[in-house]
Structure 1
Amino acid sequence: MCTDNTIDVEFDRQHIWHPYTSMLKPLPNYPVTHANGTRIYLQSGESLVDGMASWWSALHGYNHPELNAAIQQQSQQMSHIMFGGITHKPAIDVCKKLIAMTPKPLQKVFLADGGSVSVEVAIKMAIQYWFSQGNQRKHTIMTPAKGYHGDTFAAMSVCDPINSMHSMYRGFLPEQHFVPAPKSGFYDEFDEREAAVLRSHFQAHHEDIAAFIIEPIVQNAGGMNFYHPQYLKTVRQLCDEFNVLLICDEIATGFGRTGKLFAVEHADICPDIMCVGKALTGGYMTLAATLTTDKVARGICEGEAGVLMHGPTFMGNPLACAVADASLSLLYKNDWQAQVANINQWLEQLKACETLEAVTNVRTLGAIGVVELKRTVDVAKIQRFFVDNGVWIRPFGKLIYLMPPFVSSEDDINALCSAIYKAIAQDAY
């Protein structure tokens, strides 16, 4: 048996493709040996404070004993079983929790492999709903510019068509209808002209539109845009008026990240279809869900097909469902509202970055902090600086942002904010 636990970084560099990375000039990848709580441990010995929650998923930190136990106990019964013609307790338990915690009209749950797949399912639900109603014209999706909904093909088609990472596929992807991105800030007064522009698009195109898809309150990978709740409320009103389904993509915002359990609560609305993922399992396993109303579910199943035409191999995976059920219980046990409120207060120190000439804007919402710069960040350069300063932060574009685990301490947030200030002040980006 081989006992050498050294991570072969050179093999990784030569053969393994990492997210959004060139194989010709790959970004550096730091070898991680283990993670615990809010700390990531590198093979070279450094301990890093995590500011990313593993792309916004590890709400409870790493190596959590209750989540570990959920995985271990379930693995002794069955790690996977097909979901076609079979059901099991972990799936039922997690779906009960999802129905109880999301807006009341959302009563039907489709368990998907990951966030992008849940968006694919949502789009298929919307198109199949109208097809089943005898309306084959409604097959286009309306969505704001600057949105991001995933990397699979239907999801890519509703990402920003010009400025997103998927613009190269333009012409191959389905042609969707884009409206202007929300402009009124979350804390600002709502500009009613935005409502008028939205109305004009609905009036002109509603006969072709199956659904409007939007990230509620925060456009995430499209630019960390915190927009006014009235924009979302207006979209809901127009969807009702013009007979269009509303899909809310809560994959990044769900489970407390914005200060509400789900971001739709800021606008006091309920979508017809909602996607959740990322933090659903506390960052332990890949799992997402698409929830919908009785009306949409019934409408789909009354049609020619009689069923929803989707069925992933790992749908309802018992390990993922078991750890998701445990993670959702931990949310309440740990008092997520107090955790998020504390983080939000500690993130206020990012406002010190506003004094730096290189900074355009600083904004916070819930457990999210964003520093927007005037020029694009050199990711390799700034990550080296962050690692040298004991933190793990991965910026993109002109944005240095934080979405730390909910279990982060004040010292953790202080370290993260201090490293960001120093990186900008020392031009280390």
Structure 2
Amino acid sequence: MSIDLQFDSNHLWHPYTSMTNPLPCYGVVSANKALIQLDNGEQLIDGMSSWWACIFGYNVAELNLAAKNQIDKMAHVMFGGLTHQPAIDLAKKLVEITPKGLNKVFLCDSGSVSVEVALKMALQYWHAMDKPKSQFLTIRNGYHGDTFGAMSVTDPEGSMHELYHNFLAKQLFAPQPKITIDQQWDACDLDQITRMVIANKDNIAAIILEPIVQGAGGMHFYHPQYLKGIRDLCDKHQLLLIADEIATGFGRTGKLFACEFADISPDIICVGKAITGGYMSLAATLTTDKVATTISQGKAAVFMHGPTFMGNPLACAVACASIDKLISINWQEKVSRIEQQLKEYLAPCSDLSQVKNVRVLGAIAVVEMKEAIDVAIVQKQFVALGVWIRPFGKLIYIMPPYIIEKQQLKKLCDAIYRVASI
């Protein structure tokens, strides 16, 4: 099967690329398990889980069946004034598996939108308390999405959103945590953000961060005690804590949710990406009874957000099947196996002069180079080696599907070593 790549190049705008000098695109005709089939007959081992979402790989029998069963009933119905069992079932599952106390579920379209919802919840919470606050505090090198509210809490310096800096709400940015997950904890790491909270607490609606793993902002793994300290800081100064678990949720780090590393529960949590096993766009923002009740008893009396495709039945049905599959497959054992293999297979990269750092957590592996990577060149090299890995900045990283076979993972890591050593 041939794909019209010329039309694609002339008319389709792909993520983070130019229309006049676009990054090369490779035509895909099908995908199964951990393999992506190109239109030229080549097969690539997927190291990205399609931006971390396809945790079971592709063409998953249980998810296919859930979609087929639901689509004959209804693909969509508005959520305003109507409800349906797939949404109810999904909410039950999310309340059960997320950190304790997150009992109210807002279903939305995408991870970025779930962050927008979380920010609006925090703002409306304080408005309902008759104590309006207008700023958020976060940490450097974070990433929360591409919509305007999400961009405002994404580090504006040197990030993909730097261009929009002057158009966004001005937020507060504390230094990135220095102590990594494998180092000895030092409470001094919390000093500066503590000072910022004390100085600005009257106008901080919430602290928002990615628990333990900062994703697209640099793949930094920080110490769980930092996260625990942030929870304590929020409690002491009566601030809300928003945990962005869009990338880290559903087992990716070795915990079902990364908040579990610090044994804390946020006031609001954002989940997405893997929620449907990568089948379609869906996300959710969960919050506590206290936040939901306060918003609902405020002057507005309602929460002011309602996406057209909120609670989409087809997506909810697939999400339910995805969560059921995750719980049933002994995901912890699979992710632990992947983690040990990644550490073993990527260890030789640490000896390369071009490599600054190699780090692994759960089913996440990062080889940080000393110099920036030419994505087009490196992408072509990986495809020639039979793997799909999409680097950014100085980082070559993989987040493979949990069902990946040992020899496939070895081939991914060998390819990283070969490309990093060039």
The TM-score with structure 1 as length reference comes to 0.97
Which residue in 2 is equivalent to 1:291? 286
1:56 and 2:27 matched: no
Which residue in 1 is equivalent to 2:62? 66
Which residue in 1 is equivalent to 2:173? 178
The offset of 1:191, in angstroms, is 2.3
SS of the equivalent of 1:80 reads coil
1:132 and 2:125 matched: no
Which runs of at least 4 in structure 1 moved beyond 4 Å after TM superposition? none
Query: What is the CA deviation profile of residues 148-173 of structure 1, one whole-angstrom value per residue up to 9, with x for unaligned ones?
Result: 00000000000011021001111210
Q: Supply the distance in 2 between the matched residues of 1:249 and 1:395 (Cα, whole angstroms).
A: 22
CA contact (8 A) 2:252 2:335 kept: yes
Query: What is the CA deviation profile of residues 33-86 of structure 1, one whole-angstrom value per residue up to 9, with x for unaligned ones?
Result: 000000000001110000000000001110011100000110000000000000
1:277 and 2:272 matched: yes
Q: 1:385 aligns with which of 376, 381, 384?
A: 381
Map 1:244-255 onto structure 2 (within 5 A): 244-255=239-250
1:93 and 2:89 matched: yes
Identity %: 58
Q: Which consecutive residues of structure 1, in runs of 5 or more, have no partner in the other structure?
A: none
The offset of 1:6, in angstroms, is 2.5
The offset of 1:24, in angstroms, is 0.8
Which residue in 1 is equivalent to 2:251? 256
Map 1:314-393 onto structure 2 (within 5 A): 314-348=309-343, 349-393=345-389
Q: 1:417 aligns with which of 402, 407, 413?
A: 413
Match for 1:85: what amino acid?
Answer: G
Q: 1:123 aligns with which of 97, 119, 123?
A: 119
Q: Supply the distance in 1 between the matched residues of 2:49 and 2:391 (Cα, whole angstroms).
A: 13
Q: Supply the distance in 1 between the matched residues of 2:173 and 2:267 (Cα, whole angstroms).
A: 20
Which residue in 2 is equivalent to 1:142? 137
Which residue in 2 is equivalent to 1:110? 106
User: Cα RMSD over matched residues?
Assistant: 0.6
Which residue in 2 is equivalent to 1:32? 28
Which residue in 1 is equivalent to 2:164? 169
Q: Supply the distance in 2 between the matched residues of 1:65 and 1:351 (Cα, whole angstroms).
A: 35
Match for 2:214: what amino acid?
Answer: Q
The offset of 1:243, in angstroms, is 1.2
Match for 1:331: what amino acid?
Answer: L
SS of the equivalent of 2:412 reads helix
Q: Supply the distance in 2 between the matched residues of 1:195 and 1:397 (Cα, whole angstroms).
A: 27
Q: Supply the distance in 1 between the matched residues of 2:366 and 2:194 (Cα, whole angstroms).
A: 31
Q: Supply the distance in 2 between the matched residues of 1:259 and 1:424 (Cα, whole angstroms).
A: 26
1:198 and 2:193 matched: yes
The offset of 1:341, in angstroms, is 0.5
SS of the equivalent of 1:170 reads helix
Q: 2:78 aligns with which of 58, 77, 82?
A: 82
Which residue in 2 is equivalent to 1:19? 15
Q: Supply the distance in 1 between the matched residues of 2:165 and 2:328 (Cα, whole angstroms).
A: 46
Count of residues in correspondence between the two structures:
421
Which residue in 1 is equivalent to 2:233? 238
Query: What is the CA deviation profile of residues 271-304 of structure 1, one whole-angstrom value per residue up to 9, with x for unaligned ones?
Result: 0000000000000010000000000000101101
Match for 1:352: what amino acid?
Answer: P
Q: Supply the distance in 2 between the matched residues of 1:419 and 1:217 (Cα, whole angstroms).
A: 27
Which residue in 1 is equivalent to 2:4? 8
Match for 1:242: what amino acid?
Answer: H
Match for 1:28: what amino acid?
Answer: P
Query: What is the CA deviation profile of residues 205-234 of structure 1, one whole-angstrom value per residue up to 9, with x for unaligned ones?
Result: 110000000000000101000000011011
Q: Supply the distance in 2 between the matched residues of 1:346 and 1:390 (Cα, whole angstroms).
A: 19
CA contact (8 A) 2:209 2:244 kept: yes
Which residue in 1 is equivalent to 2:402? 406
Q: Which consecutive residues of structure 2, in runs of 5 or more, have no partner in the other structure?
A: none
Q: Supply the distance in 1 between the matched residues of 2:271 and 2:178 (Cα, whole angstroms).
A: 25
Q: Supply the distance in 2 between the matched residues of 1:385 and 1:197 (Cα, whole angstroms).
A: 43
Match for 1:238: what amino acid?
Answer: L
Match for 2:72: what amino acid?
Answer: Q
Query: What is the CA deviation profile of residues 357-413 of structure 1, one whole-angstrom value per residue up to 9, with x for unaligned ones?
Result: 000000000000000000011111011111111100000000000100000111111
Q: Supply the distance in 2 between the matched residues of 1:141 and 1:415 (Cα, whole angstroms).
A: 43
